[in-house]
Amino acid sequence: MHADTVGALMRDAGYSEEEAAKVGSYLRKEQLKKDPDSQALENVVDVVFLTYYWDEFIGKYAHYDDDKLVDIVGKTLRKMSSTGHNAALKLDLDDRTARIVGRALEREKKALEALAKHEVS
């Protein structure tokens, strides 16, 4: 839906079909780990989520225990590159969130190391 909406807005603003399709591909996360621009957008989205929306998320899902949150963060970390991980680790996170991110990093360590070997820059 977001890709379709943005594509229509872009075409209305004079962007080419090719440009709109490329942005749509980014929004659908079709080239993560393969396209540097797509990966950069994913990194930004995930860091922005942790910075501005995490507290609202855990408030909405207060019934989730820390293990469930570690699982969610782990899945997010796998979509990010090491550049995104480094940006996330520099955030000023509260103690619980920092602990959850740390546990997710430890749990996903082998997967993240394997993914890092194939990262685009």
Total number of domains in the chain = 2
Give the model confidence (pLDDT) of 45-78 as tens digits.
Answer: 999 999 999 999 999 999 999 999 999 999 999 9
On whether residue 121 sits in a domain, the answer given is no
Question: 36 and 16, same structural domain?
Answer: no
Could you give the CA distance from residue 36 to residue 96 in angstroms, rounded to a whole number?
Answer: 32
Question: 101 and 75, same structural domain?
Answer: yes
Question: 70 and 15, same structural domain?
Answer: no
Question: 51 and 108, same structural domain?
Answer: yes
Inter-residue contact 79 to 29 (CB < 8 Å): yes
Confidence (pTM): 0.84
In the chain, the amino acid numbered 66 is: D
User: Which domain range does residue 5 map to?
Assistant: 1-30
Quick one: which of 107, 81, 73, 92 has its CA closest to 29? 81
Average pLDDT over residues 94-102: 95
Residue 110: its pLDDT value, please?
92
Average pLDDT over residues 2-13: 96
**Least confident piece of the model among 3-7, 49-53, 114-118:** 114-118
Question: 81 and 61, same structural domain?
Answer: yes
Inter-residue contact 30 to 21 (CB < 8 Å): no
